Chains A and B, each alone.
Chain A
Amino acid sequence: MQAFLAILRYDFGQLTRSWISRIWVPLLIAPAFALVFVANNESELASETMAFYIWAVMAPVSALAVAILAAGAISGESTIISDSILSRSVTRTEYVAAKIISRVAFTLAVYLAIVIPFAYLVIRYATTDTSVGGVIIGLLMVAVMLIFLATFGIAMSVAMTSVLPAVLVVLLAVVLSGAVLQFLGLTWMSTTAVIDQLPATFRGDTEAWEQMRVLLVFTGLSLAALSSAVLLFRRKDL
């Protein structure tokens, strides 16, 4: 447990110092303020404003940032993992669990720190057409998708030894997933479909089972990615 906490602290320190975080957070904050200002002046609908922000700013910027942070979680340290960390009294499970928790928690922390104040300001200053439950479910759906992206990135980080190929695989998977899911008749699972449905979700107009379906599928996929990452890392030669 000591080792787990030490690695967790170490990784959080790394994340807060990383240049990705330093770019990611301002890139999310500046457009959020601009949109609140516009929504207030133009009396835009809160549901449309929030959905537009998720579609135009949060999703693309966060996808890139989370892909890089997650895909670099372990492959980014490939040269020092064995020499400096795992040759000490650390188990593989402790190491990979600390990495997963820190990266997922950091992603969630940044996301929530931005969207909660943003949702509050939009609902307050734009034309309110949202329901509280709809907003919570809508933001939760986006959070679950981001968590899946983070866990998939960590799994790629375990599978590959370099950061760049791992990031490229994650981004390619995101870009191509829409086409593949459409081909498989699972369009509702694609990020585009979920984001397109967000205005209705924020208004509380989507069916509960559709919302649950998205939450369960992405949670399941995240758990599968995490299990693969842990199993693969425990078997890996370093």
Chain B
Amino acid sequence: MYVVQTTDLTKIYENSYIALNALNLRVDKGMVFGLVGPNGAGKSTTFRILLGLQRPTAGAVSVFGEGMSPERADIRRRIGYLPTNPSFPKHMTPITYLEFVGSILGMDASRAKVQLARLLQAVDMAGAASQRIHGFSTGMMTRLGIAAALMGDPELLILDEPTSGLDPAGRKQTIELIRELSGRDRTIIIATHILSDVERVCSDVGIISQGRIIYSGPMAEMRRLARQGSISIEIEGNTSAFEQQIHTLDEIGSVRYERVGSEFRITFLGTEPLSEYVQRVINLVDRTGVEMLYITTGADEIEEAFLRRLEDDRTRGFLRAAAWAAVQDFSDDPITELPGADLKELEQPDAGLPRHPAV
């Protein structure tokens, strides 16, 4: 049983905006799952449907194996939620608000007080515990939101941009807190734009684009994919000879490079192991007689991989549409093929992309 599972989850707002487009997401127990995507990709909408704050237009959502709806307070009791830019009753203080959350959760007053004191300390809000929320900065609101999400010691923690608005120290502290919270059978889902945060705390990652999951898999796999095929090298000597020979490193069209001065960034689009490509580059250095100053694989790797997935998805989106149109136009002609696109492959929603075994 998955802690969170969505099947073809679709949300269309007022027949005018498609927020989620047949989204399939599966999150296992104990995972720290990073949901990464550009603005408007559908991260917050997914969370709001998971919490029963919004109803899906189509598709199904289950949390802890049960269907979610606005009336399922029993499921929400097991979930802690931090929204993006959270807002709270302005006249309350962190203490009175967390007491209120405790009473909603059915905690007795003394237990709620112990818990809120511990949490305010953990999010570094003890000094502002009796101040009115009215004057709080974005960072303080986020910290209070984290404390509120943790009041009921939830089994599932959903954090929407948990480090937004925080200063570097606060961000580091929050990341540490998330690390501490992970494990012990607790599942955490984090949506963020900050890829380094995902890299630091997440065991698994999903990339969401235009309301669909375009990649889902372990973080280690993402790192491996990111490193795959990207080599940076700085050389001295006959750089022109080296540059002229780069295309011989792999099949025609499957090697790309960028040059900045004497530094080359070579990207291999093939599927061979990275070590094989590194060996070929070193051989080329030997052949052309240049001197190698340094060689490295995959700088800014996660960001690169993320952007590459998004770009791939956009390209495939156009190809899928074109393939679909071709099928519609020439459905009577069985031999018609779309140039440059394998129709069978493109019929698969995430064709060619690595897939998480659970998805």
Contact = CB atoms under 8 A, between A and B. Distances in A.
Interface of A: 2-3, 5-7, 9-10, 14, 17, 77, 79-80, 82-94, 234-235, 237-238
B64 interface: no
Contacts of A90: 73, 76, 104
Contacts of A79: 87
B289 interface: no
B350 to A, nearest CB: 28
A87 B55 contact: no
Contacts of B89: 10, 14, 77, 80, 84
B54 interface: yes
Contacts of A10: 89, 100
Residue from A5, A6, A79, A87 with most neighbouring chain B CB atoms (10 Å) = A87
A237 B76 contact: no
Contact of B71 (A6, A85, A92, A238): A92
Given A84-B88, A89-B73, A91-B70, A3 B104 contact: yes
Contacts, number: 83
Interface string B44-74: 0000100101110000000000000011111
B105 A88 contact: yes
Contacts of B87: 79-80, 83-84
A88 B88 contact: no
A1 to B, nearest CB: 9
Given A80-B87, A83-B88, A237-B53, 4 more contacts: A2-B104, A2-B106, A91-B71, A234-B70
Nearest to B51: A87
B211 interface: no
Nearest to A237: B54
Given A7-B104, A83-B86, A89 B76 contact: yes
B103 interface: yes
B355 interface: no
Contact of B104 (A6, A17, A235): A6
Given A87-B81, A89-B76, A89-B77, A6 B53 contact: no
A89 B52 CA distance: 11
B76 A88 contact: yes
B97 interface: yes
B100 to A, nearest CB: 6
Nearest to A85: B104
Given A82-B53, A237-B53, A237-B55, A87 B83 contact: yes
Interface string B103-132: 111100000000000000000000000000
Contact of B152 (A17, A84, A89, A238): A89
A2 B106 CA distance: 6
B278 interface: no
19 contacts: A3-B73, A14-B89, A17-B91, A79-B87, A80-B87, A82-B48, A84-B87, A84-B89, A84-B97, A87-B53, A87-B76, A88-B76, A89-B74, A89-B104, A89-B105, A91-B73, A92-B71, A235-B55, A237-B54
A183 B165 CA distance: 58
B148 interface: yes
A12 to B, nearest CB: 13
Nearest to A17: B91
A5 to B, nearest CB: 8
Mostly, the B contact residues are: loop
Nearest to B149: A87
Contacts of A6: 100, 103-104
Contacts of B101: 84, 88
B152 to A, nearest CB: 7
A238 B76 contact: no
Contacts of B48: 82, 238
A88 B106 CA distance: 11
B148 A84 contact: yes
Interface in B176-192: none
Nearest to A92: B70
Given A6-B104, A92-B70, A238 B148 contact: no
B104 A238 contact: no
Contacts of A89: 73-74, 76-77, 104-106, 152
Nearest to A4: B104
A83 B105 contact: no
Contacts of B83: 82-83, 87
A86 B81 CA distance: 10
Nearest to A9: B103
Q: Which 7 A-B pairs have the closest CB atoms?
A: A89-B77, A6-B103, A2-B106, A89-B73, A237-B54, A87-B81, A83-B83
A87 B78 CA distance: 11
Given A7-B104, A89-B77, A84 B86 contact: yes
Contact of A238 (B54, B72, B79): B54
